[in-house]
Structure 1
Amino acid sequence: MEIKEKIPIMTYSQYRRARKLAHQCCNYENGNCLALDDGEECVCVQSISYSLLCRWFRAAVLPLDESLEAALLHQKEQKRCTVCGQPFLPGSNRAKYCKICAAIVHRRQKTASDRKRRAACGQLETKKP
Structure 2
Amino acid sequence: MLRANYDSEYGCLPLDYGGCYMLDKCCTGAYCKYFQKAVLPFDLVLEATLTGQKVPELDNCVICGKLFIPVGKQAYCSSACADTARRKRQREYMRKKRS
TM-score range, shorter chain: 0.3 to 0.5
What is the TM-score normalised by the length of structure 1? 0.39
Structure of larger gyration radius: 1
In terms of fraction of residues, the more strand-rich structure is 2
